[in-house]
Amino acid sequence: MIRHEYETIYVTRPDIESDKQARIDDKLKGIVENKGGELFMFEQWGKRKLAYPIRRSLQGSYQYMHYAAPADLPVELERNMNLEDSLIRYITVRLNENVDVDVVRAGAEAAQAERVQRLGLSLGAESADEGDQDDVTEDAKDTKDTKDAKDTKDTKDTKDTKDTKGAEGAGKAKKED
């Protein structure tokens, strides 16, 4: 059977109860496994701020699935996602075509082990969410510091340009008199 490698990320409403979230997660994992797919990795990334409001929500709870499956499985998975009122967004990406499942599984396990080591996490879901949040927070701080430094430089350049234009403008005004 030909299998392709996929990633699916879906966002649920942040205010749903944990048992309903677990029911949705189990349902989607079951679809992957029952339709001939193999789930390599499932991660709950936790609540994050959305880039823009979706269905009046400013935050969402993110989940990530990495799996190999026949080509018709993502269509069935997305059909079931459309039926869930608590899901506000999802995206499925085909990473590779006609993959060897054993090779992909080994690569997924190595990537997860590297991420655990890099972030100093345990394999528990709660610890992974906290560690990922800290990592995102540090990245955000670094990005903000870089942006602040750039903004300061841009402001200084703009002031220099204004001063130059001001001197040229003053010179032209004197010549006209």
CA 32 to each of CA 40, 46, 84, 98, 99: distance values in angstroms, whole numbers, following the listed order: 11, 22, 16, 17, 16
φ and ψ at residue 93, rounded to 5 degrees: -125, 130
The answer to whether 4 and 93 have CB atoms below 8 angstroms apart is no
- pLDDT tens digit string along 123-156? 554 433 444 444 444 444 444 444 454 454 454 4
The CATH code of domain 4-119 reads 3.30.70.60
CA 135 to each of CA 61, 99, 142: distance values in angstroms, whole numbers, following the listed order: 17, 31, 11
Q: Which residues pair with 4 in a beta bridge?
A: 69
- pLDDT tens digit string along 47-93? 999 999 998 889 999 999 999 999 999 999 999 999 999 999 999 99
SS3 content of the chain, % helix, strand, coil (to 5): 55, 30, 15
Place of tokens 């590779």: 96
Domains in the chain: boundaries: 4-119, 125-177
Q: What is the pLDDT of residue 100?
A: 86
What's the CA gap between 91 and 6, in Å, rounded?
Answer: 10
